[in-house]
């Protein structure tokens, strides 16, 4: 008889070690709307800066023309006044200063000097010194680092009037104009970015809705995408996806029907052949044909197991993992273990539960859960070492760990056994579908199947962990 021995459960199941080579780092996905917003805002800011630079350059040239024109007109108006004032004064070696120095006026933009042909200063404004300007006595404009000077000739070239304009005045005017152009961008750019974000968000809304509709389509949801209001740029994508899903659903359904119908139709003749072979084996007992009859019986039993697994696989592919209402899985857990003990009396199963009255309400199909757990137990029985027990542990968080002692598998990565028809050893009986069925069912339930193998000397401990979805 099967021996089911309760044992204390550990606080937490051991974590499976990493297996296989490390996966390459995936490229980080980016947001299309964010890239559009940042790109448009950056281009807007760049264009505005270029426009400000060009505007300041043009404005400076225009300011220079205006100031030069005003400087020339001022000089031409001062010429007769200064000459008339000079002839009314007595001649002396020191230059005359016209006007009084006003200390309350800090900015004196225009200054002037009346000089003779030798360069000596005869008259000068009160806000400038009697030192002659550096500008030559030649009619026209002349500039240095601090002033722009216009020279006018009078009295047949014997007298020269020079009026100097401070360049600080021009730089101040240009700077204030540049600030007047830059300040609006500092104020309006955030509003412009908000406007761009709103416009891009409105434009990207159909893309987001299409993305949401596509993201929920998988092997269990192949419904067509119904979005009649998609723009003409996205409508062909939705139509192509619908056509692809329709063809995929037809193909998957045909595959499911073929596997289910074939397995179902073959179960009856295989069961009949098994019964007839068992009767035949009794009749030929002790004769030379007995070994051959035993081989036939063994093959038929293997075929029967394969048909049962194909039926389970067809049901798993049909998407039976989820239930409409929560189901307590703890009684089903006990029932599957009891049935496994009755059908495998030579196997020792050690059960550990965190609490005897443990409850596991989950929105999971009861039949699917029973199929998954039964396949793990059968896998442990087939590939475990003879005489070694099977450990089954259940935690309150919904974690089920089935472990067994076995020979070291030939595959370095035990996750390869998730694939269909992949067996640990060709000599071991089995269909190679058990773990593939469990993996498929756990994916539909919203849980996970973790496989690990701890090598200890010449042996190993294979561990399959079922992580049920949250309650």
Sheet of strand 110-116: strand arrangement: 96-98, 121-125, 110-116, 159-166, 147-154, 140-143
Mean pLDDT, residues 114-119: 88
pLDDT-based confidence at residue 393 (cuts at 50, 70, 90): very high
DSSP-derived secondary structure for 326-349: EEE-HHHHHHHHHHHHHH-TT-EE
- According to DSSP, residue 280 is labeled H
Q: Which residue has the higher pLDDT, 30 or 162?
A: 162
State the chain's mean pLDDT as an integer: 80
Secondary structure class of 444 (helix, strand, coil): helix
pLDDT at 18 over 50: no
167-199 pLDDT tens trace: 888 888 888 888 887 887 778 778 888 888 888
The number of beta carbons lying within 10 Å of the beta carbon of residue 329 is 23
Q: What does each C-alpha distance from 155 to 36, 80, 149, 161 come to in angstroms? A: 71, 10, 20, 11
Mean pLDDT, residues 108-128: 85
pLDDT at 105 over 60: no
40-56 pLDDT tens trace: 888 888 888 888 888 88
Q: Which residue has the higher pLDDT, 195 or 256?
A: 195
CA nearest to 437, candidates 453, 421, 414, 413: 421
Distance, CA of 170 to CA of 127 (rounded, Å)? 19
CB 462 within 8 A of CB 404: yes
For 320-471, give the CATH class. Answer: alpha beta
pLDDT-based confidence at residue 218 (cuts at 50, 70, 90): low
pLDDT-based confidence at residue 1 (cuts at 50, 70, 90): very low
Q: What integer pLDDT is reported at residue 22 of this predicted model?
A: 46
CB 314 within 8 A of CB 439: no
pLDDT at 11 over 80: no
122-142 pLDDT tens trace: 888 887 888 898 899 899 999
Q: Which residue has the higher pLDDT, 7 or 447?
A: 447
Distance, CA of 373 to CA of 371 (rounded, Å)? 6
297-316 pLDDT tens trace: 888 887 877 777 777 777 67
Q: What integer pLDDT is reported at residue 319 of this predicted model?
A: 65
pLDDT at 15 over 50: no
pLDDT at 341 over 80: yes
pLDDT-based confidence at residue 14 (cuts at 50, 70, 90): very low
Q: What integer pLDDT is reported at residue 401 of this predicted model?
A: 92
CA nearest to 433, candidates 308, 339, 318: 308
Domain residue limits, the chain? 320-471
């Amino acid at each position: 008889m099967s021996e089911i021995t309760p044992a204390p459960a550990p606080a937490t199941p051991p974590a499976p070690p990493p297996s296989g080579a490390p996966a390459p780092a995936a490229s980080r996905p980016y947001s299309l709307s964010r890239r559009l917003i940042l790109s448009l805002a950056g281009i807007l800011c760049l264009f505005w800066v270029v426009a400000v630079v060009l505007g300041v350059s043009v404005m400076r040239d225009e300011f220079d023309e205006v100031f030069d024109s005003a400087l020339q007109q001022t000089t031409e108006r001062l010429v007769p006044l200064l000459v008339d004032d000079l002839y009314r004064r007595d001649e002396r070696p020191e230059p005359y200063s016209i006007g009084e120095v006003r200390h309350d006026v800090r900015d004196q933009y225009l200054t002037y000097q009346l000089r003779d042909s030798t360069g000596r200063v005869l008259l000068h404004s009160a806000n400038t010194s009697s030192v002659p300007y550096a500008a030559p006595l030649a009619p026209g404009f002349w500039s240095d680092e601090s002033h722009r000077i216009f020279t006018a000739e009078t009295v047949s070239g014997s007298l020269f009037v020079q009026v100097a304009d401070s360049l600080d005045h021009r730089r101040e005017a240009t700077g204030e104009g540049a600030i007047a152009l830059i300040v609006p961008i500092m104020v309006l750019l955030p509003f412009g970015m908000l406007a761009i974000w709103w416009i891009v968000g409105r434009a990207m809304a159909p893309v987001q809705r299409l993305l949401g509709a596509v993201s929920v389509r998988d092997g269990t949801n192949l419904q067509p995408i119904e979005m009649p209001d998609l723009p003409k740029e996205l409508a062909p994508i939705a139509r192509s996806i619908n056509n692809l899903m329709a063809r995929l659903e037809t193909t998957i359904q045909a595959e499911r029907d073929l596997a289910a119908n074939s397995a179902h139709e073959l179960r009856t003749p295989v069961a009949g052949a098994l019964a007839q072979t068992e009767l035949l084996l009794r009749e030929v007992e002790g004769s030379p044909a007995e070994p051959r009859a035993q081989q036939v019986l063994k093959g038929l039993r293997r075929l029967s197991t394969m048909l049962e697994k194909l039926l389970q696989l067809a049901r798993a592919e049909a998407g039976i993992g989820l239930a409409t209402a929560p189901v307590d899985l703890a009684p089903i857990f006990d029932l599957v273990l009891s049935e496994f003990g009755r059908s495998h009396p030579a196997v020792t199963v050690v059960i550990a539960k965190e609490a005897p009255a443990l409850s596991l309400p989950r929105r999971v199909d009861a039949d699917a859960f029973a199929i998954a757990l039964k396949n793990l137990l059968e896998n442990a029985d087939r590939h475990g070492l003879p005489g070694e027990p099977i450990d089954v542990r259940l935690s309150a968080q919904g974690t089920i760990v089935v472990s067994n002692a076995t020979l070291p598998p030939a595959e370095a990565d035990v996750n390869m056994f998730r694939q269909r028809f992949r067996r640990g050893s060709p000599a071991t009986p089995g269909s190679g579908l058990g773990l593939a069925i469990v993996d498929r069912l756990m994916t539909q339930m919203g849980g996970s199947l973790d496989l690990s193998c701890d090598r200890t000397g010449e042996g190993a401990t294979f561990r399959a962990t079922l992580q049920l979805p949250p309650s």
